[in-house]
Chain A
Amino acid sequence: MSLEQSDVENIAHLARLAVSPEELEGVAGDLSNILTLVEQMNAVDTGGVVPMAHPLHMAQRLREDSVTESDQRDHFQAIAPETEAGLYLVPKVIE
């Protein structure tokens, strides 16, 4: 399976990655090679294998439902580019 340059452009946009037009061809080739490798693995019969959701053979540990965090807003907002009235300010987004 090979990726078109337009596929790469689309994926890059979704991931907010800046891929220059000069890089497109190379990236498309690299990604296509990865997909080819996956295709080879597809040939293996995995009928009896449970899909792996995590490489560790362990289950999720749970924490008790209690509030353990205190307000550290000033601390966190000290590194924010812009804040006002306790809010983080960002470029205008409206649908």
Chain B
Amino acid sequence: MQWETVIGLEIHTQLATRSKIFSGASTAFGAEPNTQACAVDLGLPGVLPVLNREAVVMAVKFSAAIGAELARRSVFARKNYFYPDLPKGYQISQFELPIVGRGAVEILLEDGSRRTIGVTRAHLEEDAGKSLHEDFHGLSGIDLNRAGTPLLEIVSEPDMRSAREAVAYARKIHQIVRYTGISDGNMQEGSFRCDANVSIRRPGGELGTRAELKNINSFRFLERAINFEIERQIDVLESGGKVVQETRLYDPDKDETRSMRSKEEANDYRYFPDPDLLPLEIDEAFIAAAIADLPELPDVRRARFVTEYGLGEMDAAQLTASREMADYYEAVAKAAGDARLAATWVMGALAGALNRDGLDVTASPLSAQRLGGLLARIADNTISGKIAKQVFESMWAGEASADQIIDQQGLRQITDSGAIAGIVDQVLSDNAQQVESYRQAEPPKRAKMLGFFVGQVMKLSKGKANPAQVNELLKERLES
């Protein structure tokens, strides 16, 4: 039987402000517990929240980046529930009038197809603290450093039809918040958290009952959690059962989701406008200033890479995945003077070496300038691509420039035809037998046999003979 999956995502992204959304406490990650929780964050009596301008600026940037409606007037509301890591007994969020309204992003799937995914809204809110359930003599420990950290909660339309699409959408949002600099997007540190609403239905039929998957902190887990959940719901429905609306936690160790068995009333938050905060009003001048320093956005940059550098769509997508990677690539292309050669090397040797050493491109021991310098020597025929691989490894491990290594190790390609002729003649006289069989062979077989001679010449020249010249000269000699 055919089932169609319907997925919507809620993404909590931590905004990269220095201080909290309603207080002057630091948001730096990794501090000693409760050393960055001030009276406002603790919800002590008599304190009042004062909104952080930068958090608003970042929400405006996000809105512009996804072409969303931006509310000139938005309202903060209290979301009421009791939990020890929420000292006030309510979370300040936005409910009826969020700052960011409808927008959309385009996702590019692995097969090259594109889909548009709607964004319903995005609103500003404060994060809660952290509960530690390790054993403190049967008690829980509470760290309120994170309480009051600014979040932008980005809610999608239920537009995704597979786990892959959901991951592509999450990656797209991640890419946008990183490009615009509004979040560091660090998933290990909880700066980018996904909840997935998953349901299944008959194709085109009524929406099914959904389960909300929480606790997902990597793209890989997002895909696995959704796929597990789809299978689970299909099993339930096909065995005659009913899907229950509930919150389920994903357990990466067991690769399964399980019910949190929340009480029904847990979703009765009794929102109301927060009387401690006035409506947020922003004017055109504020918006213009906020978006003045927006960088070139990923989709635009990808399209430019295709037209300006003649790259394929998927290569351009890979090279613009992060702003840092795109910047690096462009610097290499400029220094190398050959954009396509630069693309091949950045996605190949460089990506491989970074991956091998577990490094981000920003921590690459090989600067874009140095790599570009190496590629320029391939482009101008100073060295072959094969020798370049060898030089690349030396550069990766050391400080020297490509030219220094080429000179020190004597790797300059031999293009002097007299010198190449000498080596070719040497090889031919050392292999008289093979020369004889080449001359007696049918022409179709010769191509393969030529490879043997090329190999010998390259070996004798220590890989330095210009391959094109070697080929030409060999043919000339063998067929004369």
Cβ of A71 < 8 Å from any Cβ of B?
Answer: yes
Question: Do A63 and B262 contact each other (CB < 8 Å), given the known contacts A16-B82, A54-B278, A89-B136?
Answer: no
**Contact in complex: A59, B33 (CB < 8 Å):** no
Whether A69 contacts B33 by the Cβ 8 Å rule is no
Interface string of A58-95 (1 = CB under 8 A from B): 11111111111101110011000010111111111111
Chain A's nearest CB lies how many Å from the CB of B99? 11
How far apart sit A22 and B35, CA to CA, in the bound complex (Å)?
46
Chain B residues in 8 Å Cβ range of A68: 19, 24
Please determine whether A90 and B84 come into contact, CB atoms closer than 8 angstroms.
Answer: yes
Residue of A nearest to B281 (CB): A59
- The smallest C-beta distance from B115 to any residue of chain A, in angstroms, reads 35
Main secondary structure of the interface of A (DSSP, over half): loop
Q: Tell me the smallest distance from the CB of B142 to a CB of chain A, in Å.
A: 4
Residue of B nearest to A93 (CB): B140
Closest to A56 in B: B278
B133 touches A87 (CB 8 A): no
Report if A10 contacts B (CB, 8 A): yes
Instruction: Please determine whether B26 and A87 come into contact, CB atoms closer than 8 angstroms.
Output: no
- Min CB distance, B368 to chain A, in Å? 32
Whole-angstrom CA separation of A52 from B55 in the bound complex = 24
Q: Mark B9-48, 1 if CB is under 8 A from A, else 0.
A: 0000000011100011110000011111111001010000
Whether B265 and A88, one on each chain, are in contact in the complex, defined by CB atoms closer than 8 angstroms, is: no
Q: Nearest B residue to A84 by beta-carbon distance? A: B136
A 19-68 contacts with B by CB, 8 A: 53-54, 56, 58-68
Determine the distance from Cα of A64 to Cα of B280 in the docked complex, in whole angstroms: 15
Query: Max chain A CB contacts within 10 Å: which of B34, B89, B132?
Result: B34
Q: Is the CB of B273 within 8 A of A54?
A: yes
Q: What's the count of A-B pairs with C-beta under 8 Å?
A: 131
User: Which residues in window 126-179 of B have CB below 8 A to A?
Assistant: 131-133, 136, 138-144
Contacts of B25 in A (CB 8 A): 67, 69
Interface residue from B26, B50, B84 paired with A63 (Cβ < 8 Å): B50
Query: When the two chains form their complex, are residues A62 and B52 in contact, meaning their CB atoms are under 8 A apart?
Result: yes
Q: Are B37 and A87 in contact (CB under 8 A)?
A: no
Residue-wise, chain B 50-72 has the 8 Å CB interface mask toward A (1 for contact) of 11111110000000000000000
B35 engages A65 (CB within 8 Å)? no
CB pair B277–A60 under 8 Å, yes or no, is yes
* Chain A residues whose CB sits within 8 angstroms of the CB of B82 once the complex forms: 16
Which one, A58, A65, A77, A87, contacts B132 given CB within 8 A?
A87
A59→B364 CA distance, assembly (Å): 48
Give A11's nearest chain B residue, CB to CB: B270
Which residue of B18, B52, B139 has the most chain A CB atoms within 10 A of its CB atom?
A: B139
Contact in complex: B279, A54 (CB < 8 Å): yes
**Nearest-neighbor residue (CB-CB) of A75 within chain B:** B39
Is the beta-carbon distance between B19 and A65 smaller than 8 angstroms? yes
Quick check: is B275 within 8 A (CB to CB) of the other chain?
Answer: yes
For A58, the chain B residues whose CB sits under 8 A away are 278
Given contacts A85-B141, A87-B141, A93-B140, contact A62 B35 (CB under 8 A): no
Q: Measured between C-beta atoms, what is the minimum distance from B138 to chain A in Å?
A: 6
Query: From residue A13, how far is it (CB to closest CB) to chain B in Å?
Result: 7
Contact A93–B83 (Cβ < 8 Å):
yes
Q: Which residues of A contact B273 (CB under 8 A)?
A: 53-54
Whether B50 and A14, one on each chain, are in contact in the complex, defined by CB atoms closer than 8 angstroms, is no
Instruction: Enumerate chain B interface residues (CB-CB to A < 8 A).
Output: 17-19, 23-26, 32-39, 42, 44, 50-56, 75, 80, 82-84, 89, 97, 131-133, 136, 138-144, 249, 260-262, 265, 268, 270, 273, 275, 277-281
13 A-B contacts (beta carbon < 8 Å): A14-B265, A16-B82, A53-B279, A56-B278, A62-B50, A62-B53, A69-B19, A76-B34, A76-B42, A87-B34, A88-B142, A92-B139, A94-B133
